[in-house]
Structure 1
């Protein structure tokens, strides 16, 4: 049976920028092992799967995200890509899409300029001593790190954008940490903050642009900088642009998307 599949570059206004995500709308859920096999075959940092919910439900779609190795509880760029597909390929006429997910209700709104704004949770984080494996993987990091219980990420704050751009962590040591990944961040030279994200524990050496980590980054930098609206850049090789706004228990994360391709998967 054929299943439609789309690939969209998220958090960019051009093809070959941002973070590519595969999106597969389904009539009903396939077995988890099939979803994981599909994500592995796609070999992108994330594949999003969608199932339309009944009209009387509190959400419009159920969304799940898989890396090539595991299912993850939250993903920003594949949600943005999914919303683009729903708005532009599935005939959605409303201005907002409501998703049911492992991280609770999520929303995406489209504005007249084509920007898509994610309504994501404000994720809690706690200060901890930097794990020895992180110190060994990236020598010179601060003695204090931040841990995100929701997704087991660690976040390290460096002293400059240049330090984030030139970071070359030992991915084998990060994988041995046994968690999802490591966020590195600093104040930006031409924006409020920059970041990169390494997730070998989830099968991703470096994620080009990661919307979900901004559920932690935006609250952190909002407090540090004393402002609720923030311009962010993820300074990977492909790079991405994000507009964030702290809204109490929620975080608005906005970006653009560029359509790359569509096709069929035969199962």
Structure 2
């Protein structure tokens, strides 16, 4: 069996920056072991699998697709950057006609395999840039953290000064805000111990660690409202370069802290990535970013 396979860098307009994701186009469902083996072979933080839901349409004509995401270790319930990468492949490589119509969106239906049914809408807004809307996914609420999470944070970042810790029960992510006394360069160079985190927290309550820092809106040529880094060793991903799904949590937190509904964010990984965020009145999150296809090939299965 021959499957079209691509790699696209998401949340960047430049190749070799942002967050790379593999995108595999399917005519039919695969065996679960095959999904996982392909993700292992690609060895990226996520591999997305797109399947046409209408058998009469081709990839250039369809406006509705099934979408699944796999890390090298397991399937995950949501992945923003791999969704953006999937949209880039459909537009640039499949010439999907729906991206040329401003009034039409391409829908990714995510269902039983990811633990919940919802719709992700993606619409092209301008050259090399997409409008990524998590439709039906609201800015995720945070709750009071447990004391045991303090040990987890201390293991990860040592004696680094912490200003706030919050927990997202919906996504099992722990948000750790560093002291406002730190600058962006500190977060970028901070050595984070991820190896021991799954051993310290093995109850399933935490599946991801978000480190975040208040931005410096007036002090840089390119101003950002907040910075972040994301770690998920529980999913066999030590550090994710740019994480769209984590920004559903970050957007809620920083909107409350800054009193803003529109924000510009930068994820401070080695590759780096920029995201423009807007919170709608109904609580949904719009995340806007660029994507660039860097590889095209055929997978022999």
**Is the shorter-chain TM-score for this pair beyond 0.5, marking a shared fold?**
yes
- Superposition deviation, residue 214 in structure 1: 0.5
Q: CA-atom RMSD, angstroms?
A: 1.8
Equivalent of residue 173 in structure 1, options 196, 214, 219: 196
| More displaced 10-residue stretch of structure 1: 67-76 or 159-168 | 159-168
Residue in structure 1 matching 2:292, options 244, 258, 262: 258
Residue among 70, 85, 91 paired with 1:87: 91
Other-structure match for 1:183: 210
Structure 1 segments, 4+ long, off by >6 Å, are: none
Out of 131, 136, 140, the residue aligned to residue 123 of structure 1 is 140
The question of whether the paired residues in 2 share the 8 Å contact of 1:193 and 1:221 is answered with: yes
**Counterpart residue number, 2:167:** 147
Q: What's the counterpart of residue 132 of structure 1?
A: 151
Cα distance, 1:143 vs. partner? 7.9
Alpha-carbon contact 1:127-1:144 (below 8 Å) kept: no
SS of equivalent to 1:80: helix
Which residue number corresponds to residue 157 of structure 1?
Answer: 177
Paired residues of 2:163 and 2:177 also in contact (CA < 8 A): no
Q: Cα deviation per residue 1:144-167 (whole Å; 9 max; x = unaligned)?
A: 522222321111011233442232
Q: What is the SS of the residue equivalent to 1:77?
A: helix
Per the normalisation by structure 1, the TM-score is 0.93
Q: Which residue of 1 aligns with 2:59?
A: none
Q: Does 1:97 align with 2:106?
A: yes
Deviations 1:155-196 (A, max 9, x none): 101123344223222112222223322000011223100000
Q: Which consecutive residues of structure 2, in runs of 5 or more, have no partner in the other structure?
A: 57-62, 100-104, 217-222
TM-score under structure 2 length normalisation: 0.83
Distance of 2:29 and 2:49 partners within structure 1: 9
Larger displacement relative to structure 2 (158-167 or 205-214): 158-167
Which structure is larger by alpha-carbon Rg, 1 or 2?
2
SS of residue in 2 equivalent to 1:69: coil
Distance in 2, matches of 1:117 and 1:150, equals: 24
Q: Are the aligned partners of 2:52 and 2:66 in contact in 1 as well (CA < 8 Å)?
A: yes
Secondary structure of the 1:61 match is strand
* 2:266 counterpart of 1:233: yes
Would you say the 8 A contact 1:65–1:78 is kept in 2? yes
Q: Which of 70, 78, 81 does residue 82 from structure 2 map onto?
A: 78
Over 3 Å counting, the alpha-carbon distance change for 1:194 and 1:143 in structure 2 is: closer
Q: How many residues align?
A: 265
Distance 1:9 1:197 in 2: 17
| 2:261 equivalent to 1:242 | no
| Aligned 8 A contact 1:66 1:72 in 2 | yes
Cα distance in 2, alignment partners of residues 251 and 163 from structure 1 = 28
Partners of 1:61 and 1:99 within 8 A in 2: yes
Q: Which range moved further: 66-75 or 130-139? A: 130-139
Distance in 2, matches of 1:227 and 1:133, equals 30
Q: Once the 2 structures are TM-superposed, how far is the Cα of residue 239 of structure 1 from its aligned partner? A: 0.4
